[in-house]
Amino acid sequence: MSHGDQVHKLPKGFTQIAESPSTEHCVMADSARKLYGIQFHPEVAHTPQGMIMLKNFVIDICGAKREWKVADWVGHARAKIQQEMRGGRAICALSGGVDSTVAATLVHEAINNKLRCIYVNTGMMRKNETEQVLTAFKSLKLPVKAVDATNFFLRRLKGVTDPEQKRKIIGKTFIDVFEKEARAIKGVTHLVQGTLYSDVIESAVPHQKKGHASHTIKSHHNVGGLPERLKLKLLEPVRELFKDEVRSVGKELKIPPAILGRHPFPGPGLAIRIIGEITPHRLELLRGADAIMTEEIKAAGWYDKIWQSAAILTGVRSVAVMGDMRTYHEVCAIRLVHSLDAMTAHWVQLPYPALEKISNRIVNEVRGISRVVYDITNKPPATIEWE
């Protein structure tokens, strides 16, 4: 439900056809004119029978035919890319995530050797991630140049604690690094990005309506502003898809399941999973905790059942006793969620033995973390990431 909003009087010709315990007019209809209005969110995962309601509307009322196939979408997208490019050349900021990998593979199939990809190691990556993603790119035959800019990013982030400032600094620094590499490639006309529809929604510009302001949930983490600086056209082939649809496209493109099944990872990386200042020491702590969490989730057979997993350094310090010593170290939070499109999410009821093993291993193996807590907050109200 859109909390705080109510329809008190229906327009002429409309009748109420659905209600809820908290809202009288959930759905209204003027069947004679085939006009319908909805107040709640049938599309989100936790709405009971929401997909059935949408199917009834699209198929039974609108008369749409069930002809859509992933293969057809891929064919149309490939043709659209070729028409847009018209012999031009493209560059892509490739992160190793599902979105950019699918976008790059789709564009590569459409224009072949006229695509060049750049992978920037920001220093905010998970343990061994750079080596793993570069191996994956090689298996897909994607033309990639890897750039290690870890020290550059860390210098600019020194002393910064505000979450939005972190995002903006990382975005600007990424642009500076990427721009330098991109200018060395001749004849480039387009920039490929793996933007999803959920990115579009959550980075929308705030607007005012009847005294009520909507807010940007978070700054978009892609390379905003770069197309203008390089005088490039933006190419976002999966912009109108949600994550589950992107994975379906990736499967059609024969991208290995190990890549498609990877949990989503934010553009700013571990920077927004470290509350407070980012330092090399804190990054190493978080990498260690994250690696243990991922290993134990996989060992328990839960990795593929979960939408996203994250370890977070909370910025809180807690007293502990280790051996005969009193310690005062970081508190690490674990966040595991179920979701379909990242617009809503539910915390995962991971079995207690798995949680216990994650906690014990992190505290015993990662020197500098003295306590582990589990995040049991849904979205809404909490976002999936902590910052």
* pLDDT attached to residue 209: 44
The Cα–Cα gap between 195 and 385 comes to: 18
322: confidence class by pLDDT, cuts 50, 70, 90: confident
| Strand, coil or helix: 25 | coil
Closest CA to 335 of 294, 300, 279: 294
Per residue in 263-288, pLDDT (tens digit) is: 988 889 999 999 999 999 999 999 99
Segment 356-377, tens digit of pLDDT: 999 999 999 999 999 999 999 9
Task: Give residue for tokens 């006309």.
Answer: 189
Question: Which residue(s) pair with 115 in the sheet?
Answer: 90
Question: How far is Cα 91 from Cα 159, in angstroms, rounded to an integer?
Answer: 33
pLDDT at residue number 214: 46
Cβ(327)–Cβ(297) under 8 Å? no
Local structure of residue 60 (DSSP, 8 states): I
Residue appearing with tokens 């500098």: 368
Q: How confident is the model at residue 211 (pLDDT cuts 50, 70, 90)?
A: very low
Taken in order of first residue, the domains within the chain and their CATH numbers are 15-61 (no CATH), 70-260 (3.40.50.620), 274-374 (3.30.300.10)
- List the beta strands (DSSP E) in 63-210: 89-93, 115-121, 144-148, 188-192, 208-209
Please report the pLDDT score of residue 213 as a whole number: 46
Q: Look at strands 208-209 and 144-148 and give their pairing.
A: unpaired
- pTM (two decimals): 0.77
CA distance readout (Å), 213 to 1, 52, 263: 18, 32, 32
Comparing CA positions, the residue from 281, 276, 275, 179 lying closest to residue 226 is: 179
CA 340 distance to own-chain centroid: 11
Residue 42 structure tokens: 């049938």
Phi, psi dihedral angles at 150 (to 5 degrees): -55, -50
Give the three-class secondary structure for 200: helix
Whether the per-residue pLDDT at 227 is higher than 70: the answer is no
Residue 144: closest CA among 180, 96, 176: 96
Residues in the chain: 387
Q: What is the pLDDT of residue 207?
A: 44
Can you state the angle between helices 70-85 and 243-252, rounded to 10 degrees?
90
* Sign of the Cα pseudo-torsion (168, 169, 171, 176, in order): positive
Confidence of residue 230 (pLDDT cuts 50, 70, 90): confident
Confidence category of residue 212, pLDDT binned at 50, 70, 90: very low
